[in-house]
Amino acid sequence: MGDKKRIPESAVDPRPENKPFYIEPNCPKCGAELVLLDTLLFPSKPQNQIWHDEFTCPICRDGIYIDWPEEMELDIELQKLFIRIDQKKKTLNANRPLPPEVVENLREFFLVDWTYNSNAIEGNTLTLLETKVVLEGITVGGKSLREHFEVVNHKEAILYVEELISNQEPLTEHIIKQLHYLILKNIRDRDAGKYREVNVFITGSKHVPPMNSLVPPRMRELVDWLYSDEAGDLHPIERAARFHHDFVNIHPFVDGNGRTGRLLMNLLLMQNGYPATVIKNATRHEYYKALEKASVDKDYNDIITLVAEEVENSLDIFIKALGKDNEG
């Protein structure tokens, strides 16, 4: 019985209106629907609660034993993370509209942090402080013109993302190309905003992107998937993380795929009410490993978890700026 897990008991019917996760369709005795119970739904439960071997149906009190496969345990941990994140999102939404001074301070913080980290992941050597200086219009000695343009371009791309959100624009291939154009202009003008016409390989990866002739149909399929019932049934964070992976997997451009992909991920997240989310340069190795795992093993769990954890970090920053309890 050591391989089995327990759903903790509750004195009330645990079936919330929005069921977060089914473990079994029905109790074999009374037929009650059984769902995952999270400590957030029952605040009296301790945060470090142990999951045991068996559980009791909260309706008829009958004892039930269930085997939990390893992959399901991973799904459950991720689902619990989603629940915690959405509790924090509710806390943030309850305080909207945010005070103008808070909005401006957070916007400036994320503009610098997002630009620095996304560029650093791709090899830009400007420090966080130097990135801030360049964003203020000052040239940093000893740094290349390209590195300066990467900072300025990324700021412009973020402003474009904000404009798209304000106008409630649905994501299209045209928008993807426009974002990429903003990232590469004055750096590789010939390739900016254009799908690649050559085959490419990703250094250090077992994954080989599709041939250049397959890029246009693959990109059409990706955008179509985004608006499909399948994608619509996913949690917004999972949908954004999967889209990000699949985009960089296609590698539709000669250069600038990573930065463009992270901008697109944020566009999808922010359209769903989440704050800007920054993949940290300090965790780039974990980030690349998670992308590789999804590409080679078709296991998205690590990349979804990594993105979700960064979403939670951003929510914590927003809630702390408001002086609120970040436990939701």
pLDDT digits (tens, 9 = 90+) for 284-314: 999 999 999 999 999 999 999 999 999 999 9
* CATH 3.40.50.2300 is held by the domain 71-322: no
Q: Is the model's pLDDT at 41 over the cut of 50?
A: no
Q: Global pTM?
A: 0.79
Whole-angstrom distance, CA of residue 306 vs CA of residue 299: 13
Calculate mean pLDDT across residues 168-196. Answer: 98
Section 154-174 average pLDDT: 98
Average pLDDT of the chain, as a whole number: 84
Of 152-161, 259-268, 293-302, the poorest mean pLDDT is in 293-302
Distance, in Å, from the CA atom of 214 to the CA atom of 48, rounded to the nearest integer, reads 49
* pLDDT-derived band at 57, boundaries 50, 70, 90: low
Q: Is 259 annotated as a binding residue?
A: yes
**Minimum mean pLDDT among 3-17, 184-198, 284-298: which range?**
3-17
The pLDDT, as a whole number, for residue 65 is 44
Which region among 13-22, 69-78, 188-197, 201-210 has the lowest average model confidence (pLDDT)? 13-22
| High-pLDDT (> 90) share of the chain, % | 72
What pLDDT, on a 0 to 100 scale, did the predictor assign at position 281? Answer: 98
Tell me if 85 sits within 8 A of 237, measured CB to CB.
yes
CA–CA separation, 119 vs 124, rounded Å? 5
In this predicted structure, the answer to whether residue 328 has a pLDDT above a threshold of 80 is: no
N-terminal to C-terminal alpha carbon distance within the chain: 35
- 262 close to 222: Cβ distance less than 8 angstroms: no
Mean pLDDT across the stretch 191-203?
A: 95
The better pLDDT of the pair 237, 11 is held by 237
> Is the per-residue pLDDT at 49 higher than 50?
no
**69-78, pLDDT tens digit by residue?**
444 444 788 8
* pLDDT band at 44; cut points 50, 70, 90: very low
Largest CA distance in the chain: 74
- Compute the distance between CA of residue 235 and CA of residue 84 in angstroms, rounded to an integer: 13
Confidence of residue 22 (pLDDT cuts 50, 70, 90): very low
167 is in an annotated binding site: no
251 is catalytic: yes
pLDDT given for residue 225 in this prediction = 98
Which residue in this structure is represented by tokens 């629940």? Answer: 83
Q: Say what the pLDDT of residue 32 is.
A: 56
Band of residue 204 on the pLDDT scale cut at 50, 70, 90: confident
Q: For residue 258, say whether it is annotated as part of any ligand binding site.
A: yes
Close Cβ partners of 204 (under 8 Å, ≥ 6 residues apart) = 288
Catalytic pick among 154, 180, 244, 251? 251
137 is in an annotated binding site: no
Is 262 labelled a binding residue? Answer: yes
- State the Cα–Cα distance between residues 100 and 324, nearest whole angstrom: 17
How long, in residues, is the chain? 328
Average pLDDT over residues 81-87: 92
Calculate mean pLDDT across residues 251-262: 98
